[in-house]
């Protein structure tokens, strides 16, 4: 149930398209209000801290492989695998902030993104310096929807009954 403004029974929210909420930001990205800057700073610090913690966990896992003495080939293979998966996850996450990802491709890359989670965290960290991750994409879609709505609602003006008839 929407709140009414008390004047004429109309809702407080404007008519037309509504902005799509972003994860962790809600709809604060539209007007950069309600602690938007603090959220960006907090999420940047949080994603960097998670990436550092993940690197520490990977280092402990690598040391476990060294203690197990499984061989230099497997150790090298693990390093290369995490490096490549992290680079691909970074690129995929970064491009997902500017365009809608293909759902089929997203599903097929789920395992690779799970392995390269450090790259995704770093992409999120770097993106928060310029905007809320995905803000540019959502803003373009929202602005386009608002423009189309304005065109549809302002197309007819005046009373059609007063329209002059052609002779």
pLDDT tens digits, residue range 18-63? 888 888 888 888 888 888 889 999 999 999 999 999 999 999 988 9
CA angle (117, 118, 119) in 5-degree steps = 90
State the pLDDT at residue 86.
95
pLDDT tens digits, residue range 110-126? 998 899 999 999 999 99
Helices (H), 69-129: 72-96, 103-108, 110-115, 117-127
Contact 135, 30 (CB under 8 A): no
Q: What radius of gyration, in Å, describes the C-alpha atoms of the chain?
A: 25
pLDDT tops 50 at residue 1 = no
| Nearest alpha carbon to residue 82 among 53, 107, 106, 59 | 59
**pTM tops 0.95:** no
């Amino acid at each position: 149930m929407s709140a009414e403004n008390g004047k004429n029974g109309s809702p407080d929210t404007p008519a037309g398209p509504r902005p799509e909420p972003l994860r962790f930001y809600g709809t604060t990205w539209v007007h950069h209000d309600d602690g938007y800057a603090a959220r960006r700073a907090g999420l940047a610090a949080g994603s960097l801290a998670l990436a550092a913690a993940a690197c520490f966990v990977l280092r402990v896992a690598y040391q476990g492989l060294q203690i197990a003495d499984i061989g230099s080939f497997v150790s090298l293979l693990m390093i290369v695998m995490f490096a490549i998966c992290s680079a691909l996850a970074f690129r995929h996450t970064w491009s997902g902030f500017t365009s809608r990802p293909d759902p089929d491709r997203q599903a097929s890359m789920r395992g690779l993104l799970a392995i390269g989670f450090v790259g995704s965290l770093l992409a999120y960290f770097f993106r928060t310096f310029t905007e809320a991750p995905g803000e540019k994409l959502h803003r373009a879609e929202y602005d386009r929807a608002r423009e189309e709505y304005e065109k549809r609602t302002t197309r007819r003006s005046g009373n059609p009954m007063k329209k002059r008839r052609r002779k």
